Structure 1
Amino acid sequence: MRSEEEKMLAGELYLAADPALVKARTHAKQLLHRLNVTEYLVTDAAREVLAELVLHAGPNFYAEPPFYCDYGRNIYCGSNVYFNVNCVVLDVAKVTIGSNVMFGPGVQLYAATHPLDAVVRRTLELGRPVTIGDDCWIGGGAIICPGVSIGAGCVIGAGSVVTKDVPAYSLAVGNPARVIKKLEAAA
């Protein structure tokens, strides 16, 4: 029999109230409290907290406090990833972020979703992975919805709500976000 965490990461219905998941979220909240309240400044101690929280981050990963996530351990980042203040990552499914990616203030990445059936939704939840390619800039206040993939070299305009995949080297803006311009590939 698979654990609730295994079901969660597989994108299947899972019980968020499972004691192991509650324990993992509590641990993340304790680390976030240290980051967001105790450390708060860009210090070696803050970087140590982030390294314990986001286990799969490449070199030069940083999230300006306050930063929020569900687990942290389901966030996978390349090198040179920067989150500005007030970002949220609901990482109930794998959130993959390439290298050289910048997030403006208040960006929200949602891998969490819920069943459409109201009775099922009373007790069970779902997750869909989110993927962001290398060399992306996600403007302040943007929301990336569950199951979305953003290709390499993209710019997502401030305040955009990304509900569908965005092809590489695109500028996408609006609610819902739509591609308004192709961008030049990095040399």
Structure 2
Amino acid sequence: MKGRGRDAFSRFRPVLRMMEKLLGLAPKPLQKWMWTLSDLLPDLPGTALRYCLLRNLAHRCGDNVLIGRSVELRYPERLSIGSNVSIHKQCYVDAYGGLTIEDEVSIAHQTSIVSFQHTWSDESLPIRDNPVTGAAISIGRDVWIGCGCRILSGVSIGSRSVIAAGAVVTKPVPSGMLAVGVPARVVKSIGRAAKESATIGNGPRMISHEPYTQHYQ
């Protein structure tokens, strides 16, 4: 498809690789400081700088990764991210407990992904000062996460699933499903099997997903 951002990545890949190597010579704290300053740059230079920095800071980073303005990234060394991924502006991504994002994932603006949670067992301390525990998050291939979602620690989202805008995901989402609500629950299949089932007989019909519905109650 012409005009897509990944075409620009392809055209300028040699320049980006050279920029990545030069930035890799800087200390990690300086690179993280430059990440913050990248918001002051125009769109394309800022996107290029964040991508090159991510290639150095992340545990693994693929090709054609777009990071929007004002994305806060914590513990990038515990983040593995695939190719053709977009994380749009004002997202909060904390990989403390480990975070894997596979290829072809799109994460809309103002979404939070938090791979840790606070404990509160030590009553001699305020809850905010109690230790935190991490639990890895896994986001499969070709997942679309709508704006303003909250993906909480220990969650896995199966491939080719959609998380509706505003959903709070606290439990695993199987592959090929649409999850909505607070807390998020699976409401229907969006896979090929669902389309085939819906056209059997005299016309469209409702599709039952009782096993998944019961799992999320």
TM-score normalised by structure 2 residue count: 0.68
More strand as a share of residues = 1
More helix as a share of residues = 2
Which residue in the other structure is 1:132 paired with? Answer: 139
Contact kept in structure 2, 1:107 and 1:142, CA below 8 Å: yes
Which residue in the other structure is 2:109 paired with? Answer: 105
Which residue in the other structure is 1:180 paired with? Answer: 187
Distance across 2 between alignment mates of 1:141 and 1:87: 8
Deviation of 1:48 (Å):
1.9
Which residue in the other structure is 2:161 paired with? Answer: 154
Residues 27 and 130 (structure 1), Cα distance of their counterparts in 2 relative to 1, 3 Å cut: farther
Unaligned residue ranges in structure 1 (runs of 5+): 1-23
Deviation of 1:176 (Å):
0.3
Q: Secondary structure at the match of 1:171?
A: strand
Show the 5 A alignment for 1:32-111.
32-37=35-40, 39=41, 41-43=43-45, 44-111=48-115
Contact kept in structure 1, 2:119 and 2:130, CA below 8 Å: no
Which residue in the other structure is 1:17 paired with? Answer: none
Aligned residues: 162
Task: Give the alignment partner of residue 164 of structure 1, picking from 159, 163, 171.
Answer: 171
Which residue in the other structure is 1:143 paired with? Answer: 150
Distance across 2 between alignment mates of 1:184 and 1:32: 38
Deviation of 1:74 (Å):
1.2
Higher relative contact order (CA 8 A, sep 6+): 1
Contact kept in structure 2, 1:74 and 1:95, CA below 8 Å: yes
Aligned residue type for 2:111: V
Contact kept in structure 2, 1:95 and 1:111, CA below 8 Å: yes
Computing the radius of gyration from Cα coordinates, the structure with the larger value is: 2
Name the stretch that deviates more: 26-35 or 127-136: 26-35
Residues 185 and 94 (structure 1), Cα distance of their counterparts in 2 relative to 1, 3 Å cut: farther
2:121 corresponds to 1:117: yes
Deviation of 1:34 (Å):
2.6
Q: Secondary structure at the match of 2:77?
A: coil
Residues 28 and 138 (structure 1), Cα distance of their counterparts in 2 relative to 1, 3 Å cut: farther
Unaligned residue ranges in structure 2 (runs of 5+): 1-27, 194-217
Distance across 2 between alignment mates of 1:27 and 1:115: 32
